């Protein structure tokens, strides 16, 4: 989880570092554009991949008695697979800041798209980083003895993974909506479930540590906790009492 968080964060930052300087240069052209009729395209190609159009072109233009070539590339969201009409434009007073008119026409499309990618990936990176910190703190807290509180939870997703069951559960109380907790149950472990006929819903039992941010989901035999035989017997008694109370 931490690795994915770091990767997403780097992609978010990398997108801003790579894309936004070019957008700023094009923004300056957009503010004071001037067509460059003496310029020509050495090469130009736009490819559509799913919902993204990627364009690359080589622009040849005269400068101080010689011909310079500048390569421009940009992407924007679109579904059109046809040809695009474009001309060469430059920033007034800065002839070296040159690009295609298509890049200027699609400026806001490009800016909003890149901003969405940067914000979305950055936000997911932050959320996953926070979740990693919460999980690490929870695992550390559960190594210390304490009186655990039972917490009912709902299973929101269940799938087979790595020789076990990958389960996402959400405590009924105590967490904001959307903060599902992911856990892996071994083949030898079975989640303890209880069906509530009143709500027509199946719940699982989790345990909350007073110094832990997240509750952990329990199995039928309490093997996921380090308990003595006496403590296991007492925990099962409490569990049965909770189930009877729900049925009542």
Given a cut of 80, whether residue 162 has pLDDT beyond it is no
And the tokens for 202?
């199946």
Residues 28-76: tens digit of each pLDDT = 999 999 999 999 999 999 998 888 999 999 999 998 889 999 999 999 9
Identify the pLDDT of residue 175.
Answer: 61
Identify the pLDDT of residue 125.
Answer: 94
Measured in degrees and rounded to the nearest 5, phi and psi for residue 121 equal -65, -40
Instruction: Look at the alpha carbons of 123, 124, 125, 130 in this order and tell me if their dihedral is positive or negative.
Output: positive
Identify the pLDDT of residue 176.
Answer: 58
Identify the pLDDT of residue 247.
Answer: 64
d(C-alpha 163, C-alpha 37), whole Å: 65
Whole-prediction pTM value?
0.72
């Amino acid at each position: 989880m931490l690795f994915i968080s770091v990767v997403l964060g780097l992609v978010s930052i990398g997108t801003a570092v790579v894309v936004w300087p070019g957008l700023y240069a094009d923004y300056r052209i957009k503010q004071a554009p001037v067509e460059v009729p003496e310029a020509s395209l050495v090469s130009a190609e736009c490819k559509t991949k799913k919902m993204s159009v990627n364009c690359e072109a080589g622009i040849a233009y005269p400068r101080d008695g010689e011909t310079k070539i500048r390569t421009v590339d940009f992407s924007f969201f679109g579904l059109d697979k046809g040809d695009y009409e474009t001309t060469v434009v430059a920033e007034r007073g800065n002839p070296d800041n040159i690009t295609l008119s298509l890049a200027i026409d699609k400026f806001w499309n490009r800016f909003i798209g890149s901003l969405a990618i940067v914000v979305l990936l950055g936000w997911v990176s932050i959320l996953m980083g926070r979740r990693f910190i919460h999980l690490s703190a929870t695992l550390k807290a559960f190594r210390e003895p304490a009186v655990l509180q039972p917490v009912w939870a709902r299973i929101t997703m269940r799938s087979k993974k790595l020789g076990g069951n990958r389960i996402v559960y959400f405590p009924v109380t105590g967490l904001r909506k959307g903060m599902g907790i992911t856990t892996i149950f071994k083949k030898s472990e079975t989640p303890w479930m209880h069906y509530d006929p009143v709500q027509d819903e199946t719940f699982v039992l989790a345990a909350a540590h007073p110094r832990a941010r997240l509750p952990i989901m329990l199995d039928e035999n309490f093997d996921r906790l380090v308990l003595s035989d006496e403590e296991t017997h007492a925990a099962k008694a409490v569990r049965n009492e909770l189930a009877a109370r729900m049925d009542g």
